[in-house]
Amino acid sequence: MTNLDSDAFVFFGATGDLAFKQIFPALQAMIRHGHLNMPIIGVARSAKGLDGLRARARESLEKHGGVDPQAFAALSAKLQYVNGEYSSPETFRELRKALGSASRPLYYLAIPPDLFETVAQGLANADCDKGARVVVEKPFGRDLASAQALNKTLHRSFPELAIFRIDHYLGKEPVQNLLYFRFANSFLEPIWNSNYVQSVQITMAETLGVEGRGVFYEEVGTIRDVVQNHMLEVVALLTMEAPVGHDADAMRDAKQRALRAMRPLTPGDVVRGQFRGYRDENGVASDSQVETFAAIRLHIDTWRWAGVPFYIRAGKRMPVSATEVLVELKRPPQDVFDTISQGQADYFRFRLSPDVTISLGARAKMPGEAMVGETVELVVRQSSVDEMTPYERLLGDAIRGDPTLFVREDGVEAAWGVVDSILGNGTPVHEYEPNTWGPAEADQIIAGDGGWHNPEPTKAEALAVKQ
């Protein structure tokens, strides 16, 4: 531990769903890898006490990754518990006692955003905010105005340098590999522009529906849930210029310039869909207009990317679960042998989940007398194992005070600025059948570029379809 590292970890909402699914598994993994040696204090409104919190942690690990006996014993020994209402000054006085000599705590607000101000004010009133850092979970607002208001709320108690807005997607190894591949290879730079790139497609497909989270999904929808954050972040990584330095702000400055260059969307750039059966989910209105699918055409107003369309597609109840980027290059200027049509041109393919692949699609001659070709794929990198989970990586970075993989205030607001004008029900929702690629209207978005590229199923998915 350095003199800049946090010296206590406190998570509000310790008995909640996020802690159960993500935080406890990340904490055990950090302990197992020797990356966490400090008090761990859970704060919640449950009256089950410390034994109840330890039981909750064990249940979490049994369902999410497994219990490592040695690491769990260390986690249990470090755990402390503060029970109380977030609106009560007594809760924060008890927290101040539990912190003891810790002077640089890291607070994780695994609670609804409408409680952020209450908790931040409680920390300040109990003198718990000095030297502290705070981690907040997305959503960072519901639109541009609410994001700006949320940022103002956080800044009343914490400077921007102490605020870590966590988007787990940025901690995924494949997403980091996308950024590395771009700037670690000189062969890519000469063609990574509008002179050679025809279009870019990004698809995030899920076979699952809302899985009992109807109430939550009625509040967000696909655009708020994954497009405004995950998908636009991927576009920023694909289109940003090289950072001018190695520090965190250099990287985030480069991403911010890419986000600011994204042209605000108009209704004609968007097709929304809703899978048949969504309205039958618990908590969903019988006449709901919330989208479970969105197809978007985006433009980047920079010299490098002028005229190149970026097509984003995200949805639930799709035929496969996969996230994939396809960068299609322009056809050769003249057909020397056979005719190369749209969909047969060279491309780069980045498969981000569930398996990880970086590959180059190219043309090669087919065996025989005729000079005709076929598309072959040259695999650059393929793997299926991500040893460190996103939450483990991001919590470790927050403890060290490294903000590189976290979202900055201006980045949040720039991303909301892209989608702000198309939020709500300004465009119709088209029904689509489950296990399809969304409503037929989505094809209109990409009609000029040869149609959507549908990610291939994994071997397990393909086998399930055959059976």
Q: Which of 56, 66, 79 has its CA nearest to residue 8?
A: 79
Length of the chain: 467
Ramachandran angles phi, psi of 64, nearest 5°: -135, 75
Q: Which two tokens stand for residue 355?
A: 């398996």
Structure pTM?
0.90
Residues 179 and 64 in one domain: no
- Report if residue 151 sits inside a domain: no
Q: What is the pLDDT along the chain (467 residues), one digit of tens a residue?
A: 556 899 999 999 999 989 999 999 999 999 999 999 999 999 998 768 999 999 999 999 999 989 999 999 999 999 999 999 999 999 999 999 999 999 999 999 998 888 888 999 999 999 999 899 999 987 788 999 999 999 998 898 899 999 999 888 888 888 888 898 999 999 999 999 999 999 999 999 999 999 888 998 999 999 999 999 999 999 999 999 999 988 888 999 999 999 999 999 999 999 999 999 999 999 999 999 999 999 999 999 999 999 999 999 999 999 999 999 999 999 776 666 666 666 667 889 999 988 888 999 887 777 877 777 777 888 877 665 556 788 999 999 999 999 999 999 999 999 999 999 999 888 999 999 999 999 999 999 998 888 999 998 876 656 555 55
Residues 102 and 188 in one domain: no
Domain at 70, CATH number: 3.40.50.720
- Report if residue 407 sits inside a domain: no
What's the pLDDT at 386? 54
Residues 187 and 106 in one domain: no
Residues 129 and 278 in one domain: no
- Report if residue 154 sits inside a domain: no
Q: Which two tokens stand for residue 107?
A: 């607070």
- Report if residue 279 sits inside a domain: yes
Residues 131 and 197 in one domain: no
35, 168, 230, 453: the catalytic one is 230
- Report if residue 155 sits inside a domain: no
Residues 221 and 349 in one domain: yes
- Report if residue 242 sits inside a domain: yes
Domain at 362, CATH number: 3.30.360.10
Residues 116 and 250 in one domain: no
Residues 199 and 112 in one domain: no
69-78 and 24-32 are packed helices; what angle lies between their axes, rounded to 10 degrees?
A: 110
Residue 174 Ramachandran class (φ > 0 left, ψ -120 to 50 alpha, else beta): alpha
What's the pLDDT at 139? 76
Residues 239 and 311 in one domain: yes
Residues 310, 298: Cα–Cα separation, whole Å? 5
Catalytic residue at 230?
Answer: yes
Domain range enclosing 117: 8-137
- Report if residue 334 sits inside a domain: yes
What's the pLDDT at 373? 72
What's the pLDDT at 449? 86
What's the pLDDT at 173? 84
What's the pLDDT at 171? 84
What's the pLDDT at 175? 87
Own/partner pairs for 68-73, CB < 8 Å, 24+ apart?
68/28, 68/32, 70/32, 71/28, 71/29, 71/31, 71/32, 72/28
Residues 36 and 176 in one domain: no
Q: What letter would DSSP give residue 227?
A: I
**Domain count across the chain:** 2
Residues 351 and 275 in one domain: yes
Residues 372 and 255 in one domain: yes
- Report if residue 268 sits inside a domain: yes
By CB atoms closer than 10 A (0-12, 13-18, 19+), residue 241 is: middle
